[in-house]
Structure 1
Amino acid sequence: MALTVDKLMNDERFSGDNVLQFLLYLPFGILLLVVRLLLALVLWVASIILPNKSGVRQMLSTLACWTFGVYVKLKGTRDPRCSVMVANYVSCLDSLAASHVLGTISLRKWKVPPFFASTLGIRNAAQFVRKQHFAECPSKPVLLQPEGGPTNGKGLLKFTDWPCPLGNRVQPVAISVERMFTNVTVHGGDGRSSFPWRDALWFLCTPLTVYSLRLLPPVQRHDDDDAAMASNLSAAIAEALQIERTEFKWEELRPRGRAPPPRGGGAGDVTTLARQVKEVLPAVPIHDILRDLAKTRSVDVTITNFLEGVTPYTPEDTTEPRPSTSKPRYVTPAPTGVFPKSAKERQLSFQERKAQMIAEAKKRYIEKNGLNLALNNC
């Protein structure tokens, strides 16, 4: 029997006889909630005063797992050549589970306090894109979840063919989650840019939430475009979880008529936000940026939407013709949304940037020392 949209969502926290079972457990759940709230306070203080080092981050990640009652089981071996990992989407704490055992970095999807985002293994999208390229950080792989939103695990939403550079080798990760008494994710009226605090609260009062992360063999890109690559990754995860792939998109699962009200001022504020997004993603047309900002009212969320392909767009040509007499100038390249597929094209791009750097350095040296160009050329 084919899956329908309603079968991919949980609209109720309880099902079957779980309500009666949970009522019997409730006194212990309240006590556990109080203890974990104290742990959350310790976690908040520690994240502020402790230095941002790898050992400290691992300790905070462990403390966060204790706070939310998260236990992670890992199967398979991580491929060190893969700097990008792609997973299905099952809950608001997927990033915490993956960060704890794999050291991954996820792009920020919601408006949450900075210390909370860092503890969950979430990075500010704008800062991350400026400082690190996806294909140049193998020790800290990036975790992408191209479904766009969580389901109940009975099926797989259609993966978006995100336009950000994926690299030629991507490792899929199959995530499944189990919990007593209650459903992990319930689709309510929260907007996509708002963290699902109600789901997170139930993590605190339930005894244990078990995540199973299965690392699958890497998927190699040959002559595949982004859409074919996304389909191959989706097929690998669906086969590992033994669930059905669907053609439904995340927008079809979201409750209708419950979009979050816009925050902030008028058109001037949106224009300012749009300029910030344009600085990070110059290839994205401004009208697409404005359309997405009208929904999210967040620079981070909008950038993440474009990077993960949640919001599709047609890249603009950002190259500008320059006269041959112009002096070479090096400009730090920004993500363009288009990643050269062949090694020859990538090497050519690198050589061009290298030549620009050398020419600019030579020009500064000549001007600083007042050298005679005509004499030097003899």
Structure 2
Amino acid sequence: MALTAERLRNNERFSGENVTQFLLFLPLGLCLFVVRTILALILWVASIILPNKSTVRQMLSTLACWTFGVYVKVKGQRDARCSMLVANYASCLDSLAAAHALGTISLRKWKVPPFFASTLGIRNAAQFVRKEHFGDCTSAPLLVQPEGGPANGRGLLRFADWPFPVAQRVQPVAIEVERVFTAVTVHTGHDGFPWRDALWFLLAPVTVYKLTLLPTCEVTEAATVIAEHLQIEATDIEYSALCRSAAPRSPAATGPSRELLRRAQQVKEVLPRVPLRDIMRDLAITRSVDVTVTNFLEGVTPYTPEPAPAQGSGAAPPQAGPSAPRYVTPPVQAPFPKNAKERQLSFQERKAQMIAEARQRYIEKHGLNLSMVG
């Protein structure tokens, strides 16, 4: 089964019997939370008072690991010739684990307090728009995570293209995160700093990071190398699609939007026997008329056909009694094409055929005589 945005995100923090186990651990977890909160206050004061030097940053990153219960294991050799490391995005504290173990600086778009960003090894991504800006960071390797946000580990999100003009060769880093009881990341549809996920680090017993340094490669090959090492699929799904699919619906949205109704009507004109409610349900996921039509034609989205329209102006369709709804999958007319170009051509042909059939039914229903036109 192909990976979708739904399958790449975590909607719940607990699964299975983890709730019972976590409740047994909760008294100790609350004690850890109090101790780590005190450490966080010490970290905040120290980051403001102490100078911004490499030795001080290393000490603060160690204190931050103690604060968040982060333990880092490193495998592989660091290539000193590469100033840029490219990694998958596993959690909100990947930058802390990498800064502590590898001394890296990570790029983020988060608006967080300066002391917090500095301790986690974060810099604003807006400072590195052009290649020459990397000259300011020659003393520390740069860690970029082109996915833009974390998935749940089942697949690799699509890498953004912006790191490509910056470096020719990079060193891939595969990041794996393990934690008992709870998921490390829960997707809520918000693209800012995930404070809830960060607070759960304070409550969890320990979060283990495994950083595997892979051989250097071309920047365009980094996603493939990381996906092969993690034995997961490199998908074309973007993190923005993950956020949209996880975004909570507004309470004011009591009905479908005007744009959704307009698109549903377009699909209805092509597929008149598909119920409107099924069309709108599929459109709410795909947001595309063409994709929704393809889903119905190829049997991806099942539906119960509506009765055929009456023949003639006054005749009622014969009724043989009500029939139970059926789970219908439209038959496939031809073998499924192997490449995208053939699939698009096949789809366009079926679409044109459906439009022609719908037009012919309209002519017959209203008794139009097209031979008299013109």
TM-score of the pair, normalised by structure 1:
0.62
Distance 1:128 1:253, change over 3 A: closer
In 2, Cα distance between equivalents of 1:82 and 1:259: 41
CA offset at residue 168 of structure 1?
Answer: 2.2
Partners of 1:50 and 1:138 in 2: CA distance: 22
**1:22-171 equivalences in 2 (<5 Å):** 22-127=22-127, 133-134=133-134, 137-162=137-162, 165-171=165-171
Distance 1:76 1:138 in 2: 22
Query: What's the CA shift for 1:2?
Result: 2.5
Query: 1:282-328 deviations in whole A, cap 9, x for unaligned?
Result: xxxxxxxxxxxxxxxxxxxxxxxxxxxxxxxxxxxxxxxxxxxxxxx
Alignment of 1:245-284 (within 5 A): 245-256=234-245, 258=247
Q: Find the aligned partners of 2:156 and 2:131 in 1 and give their Cα distance.
A: 32
Corresponding residue of 1:211: 209
8 Å contact 1:134–1:165 — kept in the other structure? Answer: no
124-133 or 203-212, which deviates more = 124-133
* Alignment partners' CA distance in 2, 1:207 and 1:49: 29
State the distance in 2 between where 1:257 and 1:28 align: 32
For residues 91-116 of structure 1, the C-alpha deviation after alignment (integer angstroms, 9 at most, x for no partner) is 10000001111111112321111100
Q: Could you tell me which amino acid in structure 1 is paired with residue 201 of structure 2?
A: F
- TM-score, structure 2 as length reference: 0.63
In 1: Cα distance, 2:95 partner to 2:246 partner:
28
Higher relative contact order (CA 8 A, sep 6+): 1
Go from structure 1 to structure 2 and tell me whether the alpha carbon gap of 1:195 and 1:136 turns closer, same or farther (over 3 Å shift): closer
Give matches, 1:165-204, under 5 Å: 165-189=165-189, 191-192=190-191, 194-204=192-202
Identity of aligned residues (%): 69
Cα distance in structure 1, aligned partners of 2:187 and 2:194: 9
Matched residue type, 2:92: C
What is the match of residue 270 of structure 1?
none
Count of paired positions: 250
Q: Distance in 1 between matches of 2:48 and 2:140?
A: 22
Q: CA deviation at 1:16?
A: 0.6
Q: Is the 8 A contact 2:110 2:124 kept in 1?
A: no
The RMSD of aligned alpha carbons is 2.2
- Structure 2: tracts of 5 or more residues without a match: 251-374
1:243 aligns to what?
232
Residues 108 and 249 (structure 1 numbering): CA distance in 2 closer, same or farther, change over 3 Å? closer
Matches within 5 A, 1:279-358: none
Alpha-carbon distance change, 163 to 177 in structure 1, aligned in 2, over 3 angstroms = closer
- Asked if the contact 2:29–2:203 (Cα under 8 Å) also holds between the matched residues in 1, the reply is yes
- Distance in 2, matches of 1:49 and 1:38, equals 17
Q: What letter corresponds to residue 134 of structure 2 in structure 1?
A: F
Using the alignment, how far apart are the partners of 1:250 and 1:200 within structure 2? 19
Q: Secondary structure at the match of 1:165?
A: coil
Query: Which residue in the other structure is 1:321 paired with?
Result: none
2:265 equivalent in structure 1: none
Aligned to 2:222: 233
SS at match of 1:133: helix
Compared CA separation, residues 137 and 197, structure 1 to 2 (3 A)? closer
- The aligned residue for residue 348 of structure 1 is none
Distance 1:32 1:108, change over 3 A: same
The aligned counterpart of 1:20 is 20
After TM superposition, give the deviation of residue 169 of structure 1 in Å: 1.7
Letter in 2 for 1:206: A
**Residue 20 of structure 2 aligns to a residue in which SS?**
helix
**Aligned equivalents of 2:50, 2:129: Cα separation in 1:** 25
Unaligned runs of 5+ in 1: 221-228, 262-378
Separation in 2, partners of 1:131, 1:39:
38
Would the aligned equivalents of 2:44 and 2:115 in 1 still touch at CA under 8 Å? yes
